[in-house]
Amino acid sequence: MLNISHNKLNKTVDISDSASGRRVFHQRHYKHFNRFLLVFSLMGFIVLFLPWTQSVNGKGFLTTLTPDQRPQTIQSPIPGKIEKWFVREGDYVQKGDTILFISEVKNEYFDPNLVARTGQQIKAKSSAVSSYEGKVKALQNQIGALGNERILKLQQAKNKLLQSRLKVKSDSIDLEASKTNNKIAQTQYDRTALLQSEGLKAVTDVEEKRLKLQETHAKLISQENKLMTAKNEVINAEVEIGRVQAAYIDKISKAQSDRFTAQSNQYDSEAQVTKLENEFTNYEMRTSLYYIRAPQNGYINKALQGGLGETFKEGDALVGIMPADYDMAVETYVAPLDLPLIHLGEKVRIQFDGWPAIVFSGWPNVSYGTYGGEVVAVETFISKNGKYRVLLAPDADDHAWPKDIRVGSGASTIALLENVPIWYELWRQLNGFPPNYYQPEGDKLANKEKK
């Protein structure tokens, strides 16, 4: 009811005698409650100035510290067909143990004696290489023999040429002697004929001189023929030298051509041997790939290809394996806004899923059920979920992580930052500001040294 009248009813009517009036208008002031509120207000004001540890929260899961310790799948580098399994899911295998046996699905590898036949081809080609090597050596020896023979033949032809030239000189001298004898015989004949005409010589003497003149003239002609024959022999000797040179050049060139052909065939055979050896090694390696073996000690998680006779392509995952020996780590994700606050060596508190914990992010000393971690890697590229990945290893200065945690289970992380008053943290949270940016002590010292 609005109190708009100037006549105050409570001034004229006494309502203290009524039950409702006695309940409302009493004189008690709840002194203890007021004191409690005052003390609580003072304590709340003092609490506002208590230190509060800023933190960056993240959500992640358990993983391993190094990539080779993480769960993996075993693939086959060749296509094939499953023939036999040697393990079951959950079995423990050691490195090198056979997991399954596969067979070929490509027709060019169906021959069970493919490796042996390739080895026989290598032996045959190697024998061909040896034969060509022998032929090359024989032709080389032949070339050497022809060279030596050419030298001897040329020397023989040169000697013959020299002999022919000496014979030309000898015949030239004999020709000059014949000419001289012919002149003497001519003179004697003329003198005898003159004397016979004067009656001093007989006709028989003249005839004797004429006969001797004809003999010397015949000898002169014969000696001229011998000289011409000797000159022809010189020309023939010179031609013989050229013929011997050309003949042996042809023979040596043919032998060299045959040698080069044999060498070409030898190199081609060596290339084929190398190719066959490569194929032989590939076939041996491919045969060894029929047995899929464990790459390391671990436990068989799940058979990704089941049954017998099932075919698969190269690179298809066949079975999953979990390494037996691994170092636990936590893979967590932080927002890009908080990434500059995360540094290598940063201390982090971790709460594992399934392990009871009482967490006070601002007062880590009073938290219960959390475990210590240390930042060992910070990803430099953003992940698909819009956050950056951070890898945490166990803190050596803190108590050990539980032994029963498994890879893949969830974990919550709290990265501890600077200590600030509670009122500042409340003010920051209400305004949506990020935590204070800071640098670790090591980075601060390094910056001072650079300056």
Q: How far is CA 248 from CA 138, 143, 158, 252, 355, in A?
A: 17, 10, 15, 6, 100
97: tokens are: 């143990």
Q: Which residues contact 82 (CB under 8 A, 6 or more apart)?
A: 100, 101, 102, 305, 307, 308, 309, 310, 311, 312
CATH number at residue 414: 2.40.30.170
Contact between residue 56 and residue 417 where contact means Cβ atoms under 8 Å apart: yes
Q: Do 283 and 304 fall into the same domain? A: no
The single residue listed with the structure tokens 């004929």 is 193
User: Among 353, 341, 401, which Cα is nearest to 373's?
Assistant: 401
Distance set, CA 21 to CA 8, 211, 394, 410 (Å): 17, 205, 70, 63
**Alpha-carbon distance values, 262 to 131, 150, 258 (Å):** 9, 24, 6
Q: Do 336 and 369 share a structural domain?
A: yes
Separation CA 451–CA 446 (nearest Å): 9
CB 426 within 8 A of CB 50: no
Torsion angle of C-alpha atoms 123, 125, 126, 129, degrees rounded to 10:
160
Tell me how long the chain is.
451
Q: 288, 313, 345: which is the final residue of a domain?
A: 288
- Model pLDDT for residues 45-61, shown as the tens digit of each residue: 887 777 766 667 788 88
Q: Give the sign of the dihedral formed by CA 292, CA 295, CA 298, CA 303.
A: negative
CATH of the domain at 276: 1.10.287.620
| Helices and strands per DSSP (H, E), number in the chain | 7, 14
Lowest-confidence segment of 141-150, 239-248, 383-392, 396-405 by average pLDDT? 396-405
pLDDT (0 to 100) of residue 171: 80
| Average pLDDT rounded to a whole number, residues 281-309 | 89
Q: Of the candidates 393, 391, 344, which has an alpha carbon nearest to the alpha carbon of residue 371?
A: 393
pLDDT of residue 101: 93
In a domain, 109, yes or no: no
In a domain, 39, yes or no: no
- In this structure, is residue 175 part of a structural domain? yes
Q: How confident is the model at residue 233 (pLDDT cuts 50, 70, 90)?
A: confident
**What's the CATH code of the domain at 81?**
2.40.50.100
Considering the domain boundaries, does residue 16 fall inside one?
Answer: no
Instruction: Report d(CA 366, CA 360) in Å as an integer.
Output: 7
pLDDT score at 348: 85
Q: Are residues 148 and 231 in the same domain?
A: yes
Q: Is the pLDDT of residue 145 over 80?
A: yes
Domain boundary residue, one of 300, 322, 344: 322
pLDDT above 80 (res 439): no
125 and 240 fall within a common domain: yes
Q: Are residues 122 and 256 in the same domain?
A: yes
Would you tell me how many other CB atoms lie within 10 Å of the CB of residue 137?
Answer: 12
Q: What is the mean pLDDT of residues 334-361?
A: 76
Domain shared by 245 and 277, yes or no: yes
Q: Evaluate whether residue 98 is within a structural domain.
A: yes
Q: Is the model's pLDDT at 325 over the cut of 90? A: no
Q: Evaluate whether residue 9 is within a structural domain.
A: no
In degrees and rounded to multiples of 5, residue 341 shows phi and psi of -85, -10
Q: Which amino acid is at 131?
A: S
Look at residue 324 in the predicted model and tell me its pLDDT.
Answer: 86
Domain end residue (candidates: 266, 288, 310): 288
Amino acid, single-letter form, for residue 239: V
Q: How far apart are the first and last CA of the chain?
A: 77
Any domain includes 368: yes
202 and 316 share a domain?
no
Domain, as residue range, for 77: 73-103+291-322
Provide the mean pLDDT of the chain.
Answer: 81
pLDDT level of residue 365 (50, 70, 90 thresholds): low
Do 150 and 137 fall into the same domain? Answer: yes
Question: Mean pLDDT over residues 256-283, rounded?
Answer: 90
The pLDDT confidence band at residue 447, using thresholds 50, 70 and 90, is: very low
The torsion angles phi and psi of 436, rounded to 5 degrees, stand at -65, 130
User: Are residue 260 and residue 314 in the same domain, yes or no?
Assistant: no
Q: Are residues 163 and 118 in the same domain?
A: yes
Categorize the per-residue pLDDT at 294 as very low, low, confident or very high, splitting at 50, 70 and 90: very high
Closest CA to 345 of 445, 448, 411, 439: 439
DSSP H or E stretch at residue 302: strand 298-303
- By mean pLDDT, which of 4-8, 40-44, 220-224 is the weakest? 4-8
Confirm whether pTM is higher than 0.75.
Answer: no
Residues 151 and 282 reside in one and the same domain: yes
Same domain as 250, residue 163: yes
Q: Is residue 27 part of a domain?
A: no
In this prediction, residue 448 carries a pLDDT of: 46
Residues 56, 60, 61, 64: is their CA dihedral positive or negative? Answer: negative
Task: Please check the confidence at residue 148 and state whether its pLDDT lies above 60.
Answer: yes
**How many domains, the chain?**
3
DSSP letter assigned to residue 396: T
